[in-house]
Structures are given as C-alpha cells and as structure tokens.
Amino acid sequence: MSTDSITGMTPTNAKSHAHARPGWVYLVGAGPGDPELLTLKAARLIAEADALVYDNLVAPAILDFVRADAERIYAGKQRGDHTLPQEEINQLLVRLARAGRSVVRLKGGDPYTFGRGGEEVETLAAMGVPFEVVPGITAAAGVAAYAGIPLTHREHAQACVFVTGHLKDGSMNLDWPGLARRGQTVVIYMGLSGLPHLCAKLIEHGLPADWPAAIVQRGTQPSQRTVTGTLATLPARAAAAVLRAPTLIIVGTVVTLRDKLRWFEEAPDSTETQDPPL
C-alpha cells in the first residue's frame, strides 16, 4: 500500500504520526463523500484514532483510513431509523473518552452544519470531557461544485441560504417569504421526502413556477446523479429518477449554469433536460 505524499500516512497505519490524545474526543467532518476532500487534519486524526464513531453519511472509502486495530462503532441515522438515539451517542462518546481512548466522532459534511455536532459537544463540555472540532467541507459547497452549480454568481445570486428540510418534529416549517426571494441561492439539506411541499410553498410565496431547481444524489461520489428542472417539474422528475437519500436540493437561477460548468458527471442523467429559460 502506498504512502500519501502529502500526509506521509498510509490509509491503515499512521501510528508513528500519532497526535491524537487519549481521553479526548475529536468531532471531525468527513466532507460530502469524496475521500480526497478530507482536510489533512481530518485524515490524520481518523488514522490515529483508537475508536471511531461514524454516521450513515460517511462514505465507505473514508473508512479505509481507519487503523486496523481501532474500534469502529456505527451510529448512523436515517429517516425513521436511528441505530443509536442521539443521547446514547452523546454518552457513548463520554464513556470512550473516560476509558482513555482517543475518539473520533466522524460526521458527514461539516459537524456544525445540520450535523447535530453542537448537541454532542454540549454534552462533552458539561461532563468535563476534552474535545476538539475539525470542520469539514459541507455538502452545500462540495456537492454544488461537483454538480457544476456555483452557489453565488454576480449575475445570478448575491446571497446563499442553507436550510434543513427535516425539522426535529418531522415538519418543514420554514421561513417561506425569506426563502422565496430572487437574487439568492437556497440550498436544502435532507429535503427529498418533502420536495413537493417545498416547491409548492416557494411558488405560493412568490417565486415563479419556472424558477430553476436541481436535486443531487450522492454528490461528489462516483454514483452522483443530478436532476434539474423547475419548481413545477422537479418533484415529478425526482420521483421518475427514483432518487434516494442522501440528496441536496439547490434552488435559484445559478442552476442554469450547470450545462456550461458541469465537469464531474460524464453525461446527462436520462431524466435531465435542458435547463429552463428564465
């Protein structure tokens, strides 16, 4: 197995480069999926950890960096199917650290962007467990770039808003007037199941039915698929494509730039048509 020329590490053995401290928890962002989008610090800490607690959104290729003798604990959460409840995850991190382990809590994207990282760190702080937070590339930035859609552009969007499409109570009660504005890009995390409701509400609050929108499945990974359309057509196109989570929804006229700026997906998805005229 070759050694990484930048980090000096191999995916399965980085003991000699250990910097992780026993009794600490490292809340690490794994990025949107492509393992090469890991930060150097994230890759190092993953390779050094005694114990790794990881989520459903962590791409399998990233786990190749984990030491062979490290304990791996899957704590993935999918809609309606939580392997471990959040409070149990919080307490698990405390127990592992107090047992003298160097613990990496690995979360997809960025741990502080819709990743519930703040809740986990609150528990660690309250229990006196030392911790460190390592930011990751959040899905909005990584997935949009790989889909060929800039989040901002002088001729299209001077602002960008991130929202979650799945609130704690299962609703999608968002600031619709604030989201239904021109001159901005809206990025919706975890919004696949509520896509029809989302699009209808944006139209109801002032955006035209032909406003461009896109949904990206498994962004930055080899299986990435992008479906584009309008607020009126995107729900049916996404259903026809039989998309599955994780997905990211992008709403705004920046979506019309995809045909010119796409670079990652070799050919258009069979469900994708030309971006709508404005």
Which residues are tagged catalytic?
55, 77
Inter-residue long-range contacts of 5-9, CB under 8 Å, 24+ positions, other chains counted? 6/40, 7/40, 7/43, 7/44, 9/43, 9/44, 9/47, 9/65
Please answer whether residues 25 and 130 qualify as being in contact, where contact means their C-beta atoms are separated by less than 8 angstroms: yes
Cα three-residue angle 40-247-47, rounded to 5 degrees: 25
Nearest Cα neighbor of 143 from 31, 41, 36, 240 is 31
Q: Which residues of 200-217 are buried (b: 16+ CB within 10 A; e: fewer)?
A: ebbbeeebeeebbbbbbb
The beta strand positions in the chain, using DSSP E, are 25-29, 51-54, 71-74, 77-78, 81-82, 103-107, 131-134, 159-164, 184-189, 212-217, 225-230, 247-251
Distance CA 233, CA 211 (A): 10
Distance CA 213, CA 21 (A): 45
For tokens 């819709």, the residue is 114
